[in-house]
């Protein structure tokens, strides 16, 4: 392991600084820059006085003479500010300091000037409150088996939360070394980015004047490399380190009694660190890497700091009862944390506008680095499911580019917390890898890190590394253009393209346009550089390295390639490596459907999934008749791979949710979809039975599709699956496989009226130490009846909900997977919205989370009316109207257009013949789909009225925001 010496740190720090010239009052002035920090903290973890006091010495270099120095500070009380000339040791008289709360800044005013090209030390004493929202410097409690509740304190500074713990230059372009010291109790440990170099035991004078000898200790840490404030981290608490016998720089910590659950990640971390070192060609830059399993964190599951990474316990804990998906998630989470040691810490974005530089590379490499260690997990395929396909949901007109300026301090947190930005950035990194090849990609990453380590960069530094690597290895560029020119079309434009392929005689005519869901009418003329790979029924060449390719250029309206006249079908985007969708003419779609029905395995797994996903998404956007994607589902009886089934499940769930508005047709649609879910479950149930030790993808498929079937249809469960027997065995005290518990517990939740079933599930939730078992209970609860779910939601108002607040988001997301759950949330939010926001702890966050979930789920008119009534209430906080109302306007418009475009009729045309004999109720009558009890014209008219009102309200909000900015 290698880490920078103090001399090299100082030299690199001196070379660092923000190169922008534009004055922006939301950013710190450029008249001074930090050169080092000495930070001393004294946290008090007692719950009745959870606070901290501290002091910071900031050595600054003055770039231009000034009588004021501006720092970031938020929610701190500052004392005794001193400014001292470093050369003469003379104090510069501080006249006053004032707070600019809207900019989260403090302005220090002096009687005289500090002079250019000199150094000064700013000394500030401060105090603050330990937060309880998992952000900044926060406290968290956990229950022990014998000593009651214990308290810990930790940090989550990304992106702009360091300023709430100590005054600082809290912008990522300022990288400096830190000297950190923390005073803690004798029975507590303190951790930070660097190893402990000294511990000094001190006496504590109590309030009554008595002395507790050696009851406290100052823990001093080694000086850090040059880093930004967002990388700073520390922890205080009674945690223990897992005793790892391997000689490694990685350590994993948890509280006593749970150490056995971190053994798995303790063994995994050193291997992943070694893989990352080999992949990047850059040794890990710190002496050690400490991983902490925390009871709670803020927005993110993981806080990726340099040398000290904190996880939520449920992310990291693994034991004998943990299911396969949770084990996979634990290892990839460690992979992500390790990757950020290079991407985000060794190299930092110069502005939070470019946070995707961190998240994209780290997310991409977490899968492909972990895949090196676990090849049988097929993580390169799960990347498509978990990241790329979710990123392709970024298909709405309002979505922002990856590189987008923040408009106020808090927005930086929004950008980094926005999962889509990381998913999209990771997806385009995979695409770039496909363009240049693995060898060039790795060489580019090495050049990027080598030339920019310990600095803050803009995206062009990454693209320049690729251009240089291409020149070194191939003596040429990429398609006659620089990588920067080509990739800017992907990072500086919102959305992504759909490629249209039309056959004319012996040619294929290729065009592109921005893909927008929801029948959006847009004049968007965005175009991208796209490298298209393709094959036909003649070659069936699905090798990404040898399949033919063609480039689309933004300046060219259409590209023509020759093709044999007798070609029956063609597929573009081999193995789905490109970040775009593809649309064909109907005859090619039908030929592809025939191919999958006749011999699906002649088409690559990822392209089978792509055809399902693309066709459903195109139909959703009004670009394709629903008979095409629905027809693709016919071949699924022959599909035995998890990836295409994932695409089918996600797409069919959207259809089923939308069809809730068509009451007459819904039972038949549900019957057909339930039958497909049963087919998937039986397929994977058979694979599990046939294999002694099934591989993780098979176990994950068994879990996923058993749960899907159980949530859809009780009739299907009891007629076609063995899941009820698993629940009976579990209820009688027998241990059942971890990967069937979600489905088995759903059966139990459906029996909520049966004495003891639901109580037994909640008892397990409250007593188990296995987080995946807790998650299984949460995922099963939406199978209960509406009244039960509504009762749980109402109990939130009294802080008596059986689900813990830290699991609320998971609970709400789980509820959105069933119509009962959606109905219960909609009613709850409509009735209790005002009281929830005003009177419940974290009520605003709860309301926002439910709002955002319902935005994409409400389908019936009563649900939409309920949401809209909330939006127009006079007592609805303005921030909800500013941020959530525009989202609902777009969703309502999309809802209306989906029905108007004839989507329900097209689905019905396919479903009606198939549903015969599948309906749950044998007496069910098959009738043409009706939207609701009122006629369609009345329904559409009412929804149009809501959309118009929302447009006016959104315009009013926009004008207010514009006036505020000006």
Using an 8 Å Cβ cutoff, are 167 and 72 in contact? yes
Pairing of strands 289-294, 178-185: unpaired
Nearest to 130 by CA among 200, 167, 75, 92: 75
Query: Beta strands of 157-207 (E only): which ranges?
Result: 178-185, 189-192, 196-205
Using an 8 Å Cβ cutoff, are 957 and 886 in contact? yes
Q: Give CA–CA dist 787/906, Å, rounded.
A: 34
Pairing of strands 347-349, 455-457: parallel
Using an 8 Å Cβ cutoff, are 139 and 46 in contact? no
Q: Give CA–CA dist 73/530, Å, rounded.
A: 45
Phi, psi of 317 (to 5 degrees): -75, 130
Q: Give CA–CA dist 379/570, Å, rounded.
A: 27
Phi, psi of 438 (to 5 degrees): -60, -40
Contacts of residue 799, defined as CB under 8 A and 6 or more positions apart, other chains included, come to 840, 841
Please confirm whether the linkage preceding 159 is cis (ω < 30° from 0).
Answer: yes
Does the annotation list 336 as a binding residue?
Answer: yes
Using an 8 Å Cβ cutoff, are 233 and 193 in contact? yes
Degrees to nearest 5, angle at CA 688 with 687 and 690: 65
Q: What size, in residues, is the chain?
A: 966
DSSP H or E run through 747: helix 741-750
Q: Give CA–CA dist 482/490, Å, rounded.
A: 14
Using an 8 Å Cβ cutoff, are 860 and 660 in contact? yes
Runs of H (alpha helix) within 492-604: 586-598
Q: What is the DSSP string of 317-381?
A: ---TT--HHHHHHHHHHHHHHHHHTTBTTTEEESSGGGTHHHHHHHHHHHHHHHHHH-GGG-HHH
Using an 8 Å Cβ cutoff, are 538 and 567 in contact? yes
Instruction: Give the number of other Cβ atoms within 10 Å of residue 309's Cβ.
Output: 26
- CA 298 and chain centroid, separation: 13
Q: Give CA–CA dist 214/774, Å, rounded.
A: 42
Contacts of residue 964, defined as CB under 8 A and 6 or more positions apart, other chains included, come to none
How are the residues of the chain apportioned to helix, strand and coil, as percentages rounded to the nearest 5?
Answer: 50, 20, 30
Pairing of strands 178-185, 32-44: parallel
Contacts of residue 63, defined as CB under 8 A and 6 or more positions apart, other chains included, come to 30, 31, 32, 33, 116
Task: Quote the DSSP letter at residue 478.
Answer: B
Contacts of residue 453, defined as CB under 8 A and 6 or more positions apart, other chains included, come to 12, 282, 285, 346, 347
Pairing of strands 308-312, 302-304: antiparallel
Q: Give CA–CA dist 416/402, Å, rounded.
A: 11
Using an 8 Å Cβ cutoff, are 224 and 306 in contact? yes
Phi, psi of 290 (to 5 degrees): -105, 130
Phi, psi of 51 (to 5 degrees): -155, 180
Q: Give CA–CA dist 46/957, Å, rounded.
A: 43
Known binding site: residues?
Answer: 336
Known binding site for Zn(2+): residues?
Answer: 336
């Amino acid at each position: 392991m290698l880490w920078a010496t103090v001399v090299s740190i100082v030299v690199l720090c001196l070379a660092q600084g923000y190169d922008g010239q534009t004055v922006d009052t939301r950013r710190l002035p450029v008249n001074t820059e930090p050169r080092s920090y000495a930070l001393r903290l004294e946290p008090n973890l007692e719950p009745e006085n959870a606070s901290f006091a501290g002091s910071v010495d900031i050595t600054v270099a003055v770039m231009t003479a000034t009588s004021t120095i501006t720092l970031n500070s938020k929610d701190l009380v500052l004392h005794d500010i001193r400014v001292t000339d470093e050369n003469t040791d003379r104090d510069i008289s501080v006249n006053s300091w004032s707070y600019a709360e809207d900019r989260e800044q403090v302005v220090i005013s002096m009687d005289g000037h500090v002079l250019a090209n000199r150094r000064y030390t700013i000394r500030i004493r401060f105090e603050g409150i330990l937060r309880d929202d998992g952000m900044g410097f926060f406290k968290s409690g956990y229950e022990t088996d014998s000593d009651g509740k214990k308290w810990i304190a930790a940090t989550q500074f990304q992106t702009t939360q360091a300023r709430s713990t100590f005054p600082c230059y809290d912008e990522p372009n300022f990288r400096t070394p830190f000297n950190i010291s923390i005073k803690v109790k004798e029975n507590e440990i303190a951790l930070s980015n660097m190893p402990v170099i000294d511990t000094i035991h001190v006496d504590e004078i109590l309030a009554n004047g008595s002395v507790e000898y050696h009851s406290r200790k100052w823990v001093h840490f080694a000086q850090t490399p040059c880093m930004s404030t967002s990388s700073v981290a520390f922890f205080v608490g009674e945690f223990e380190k897992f005793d790892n016998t391997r000689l490694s720089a990685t350590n994993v910590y948890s509280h006593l009694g749970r150490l056995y659950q971190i053994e798995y990640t303790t063994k995994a971390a050193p291997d992943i660190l070694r893989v990352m070192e080999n992949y990047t060609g850059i040794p890990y830059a710190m002496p050690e890497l400490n991983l902490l399993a925390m009871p709670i964190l803020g927005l993110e599951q993981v806080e990726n700091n340099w040398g000290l990474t904190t996880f939520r316990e449920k992310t990291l804990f693994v034991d004998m009862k943990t299911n396969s998906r949770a084990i996979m998630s634990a290892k990839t989470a460690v992979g992500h944390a390790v990757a950020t040691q290079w991407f985000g810490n060794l190299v930092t974005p110069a502005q939070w506008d470019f946070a995707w530089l961190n998240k994209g590379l780290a997310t991409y490499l977490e899968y492909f680095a972990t895949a090196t260690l676990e090849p049988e997990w097929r993580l390169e395929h799960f990347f498509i499911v978990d990241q790329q396909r979710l990123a392709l949901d970024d298909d709405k007109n309002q979505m922002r580019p990856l590189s987008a300026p923040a408009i106020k301090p808090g927005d930086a947190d929004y950008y980094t917390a926005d999962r889509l930005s990381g998913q999209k950035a990771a997806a385009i990194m995979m695409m770039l890898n496909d363009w240049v090849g693995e060898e060039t990609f790795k060489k580019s990453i090495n050049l990027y890190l080598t030339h920019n380590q310990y600095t803050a960069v803009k995206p062009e530094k990454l693209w320049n590394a690729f251009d240089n690597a291409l020149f070194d290895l191939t003596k040429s560029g990429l398609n006659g253009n620089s990588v920067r020119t080509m990739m800017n079309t992907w990072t500086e434009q919102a959305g992504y393209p759909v490629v249209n392929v039309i056959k004319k005689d012996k040619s294929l005519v290729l065009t592109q346009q921005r893909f927008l869901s929801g029948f959006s009418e847009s004049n968007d003329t965005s175009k991208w550089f796209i490298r298209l790979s393709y094959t036909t029924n003649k070659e069936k060449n699905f090798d990404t390295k040898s399949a033919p390719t063609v480039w689309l250029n933004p300046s060219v309206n259409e590209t023509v390639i020759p093709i044999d006249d007798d070609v029956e079908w063609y597929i573009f985007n081999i193995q789905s490596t490109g970040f775009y969708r593809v649309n064909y003419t109907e005859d090619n779609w039908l030929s592809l459907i025939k191919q999958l029905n006749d011999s699906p395995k002649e088409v690559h797994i990822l392209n089978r999934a792509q055809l399902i996903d693309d066709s459903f998404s195109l139909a959703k956007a009004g670009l394709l008749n629903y008979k095409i994607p629905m027809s693709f589902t016919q071949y699924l009886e022959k599909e035995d791979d998890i990836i295409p089934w994932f695409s089918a499940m996600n797409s069919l769930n959207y259809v089923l949710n939308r069809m809730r508005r068509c009451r007459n047709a819904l039972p038949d649609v549900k019957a057909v979809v339930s039958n497909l879910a049963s087919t998937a479950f039986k397929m994977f149930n058979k694979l599990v039975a046939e294999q002694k030790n099934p591989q993780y993808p098979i176990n994950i498929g068994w879990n996923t599709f058993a749960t899907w079937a159980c949530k859809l249809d009780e009739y299907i469960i009891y007629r076609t699956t063995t899941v009820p027997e698993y629940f009976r065995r579990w209820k009688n005290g027998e241990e059942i496989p971890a990967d069937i518990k979600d489905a088995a517990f759903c059966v139990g939740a459906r029996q909520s009226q049966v004495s003891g079933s639901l109580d037994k599930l909640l008892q397990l939730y409250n007593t188990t130490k296995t987080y995946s078992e807790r998650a299984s209970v949460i995922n099963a609860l939406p199978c209960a009846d509406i009244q039960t779910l509504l009762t749980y939601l109402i109990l939130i108002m009294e802080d008596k909900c059986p689900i813990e607040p830290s699991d609320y988001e998971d609970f709400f997301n789980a509820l959105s997977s069933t119509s009962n759950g959606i109905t219960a949330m909609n009613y709850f939010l409509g009735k209790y919205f005002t009281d929830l926001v005003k009177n419940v702890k974290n009520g605003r966050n709860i309301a926002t989370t439910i709002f955002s979930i319902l935005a994409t789920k409400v389908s019936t008119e009563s649900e939409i009316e309920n949401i809209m009534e909330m939006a127009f209430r006079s007592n609805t906080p303005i921030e909800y109207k500013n941020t959530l109302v525009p989202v609902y306007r777009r969703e309502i418009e999309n809802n209306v257009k989906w029905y108007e475009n004839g989507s329900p009729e097209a689905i019905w045309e396919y479903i009606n013949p198939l549903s015969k004999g599948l309906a749950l109720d044998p007496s069910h009558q098959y009738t043409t789909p009706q939207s609701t009890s009122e006629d369609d014209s009345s329904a559409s008219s009412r929804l149009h009225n809501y959309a118009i009102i929302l447009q006016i309200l959104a315009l009013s909000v926009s004008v207010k925001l514009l006036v505020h900015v000006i």
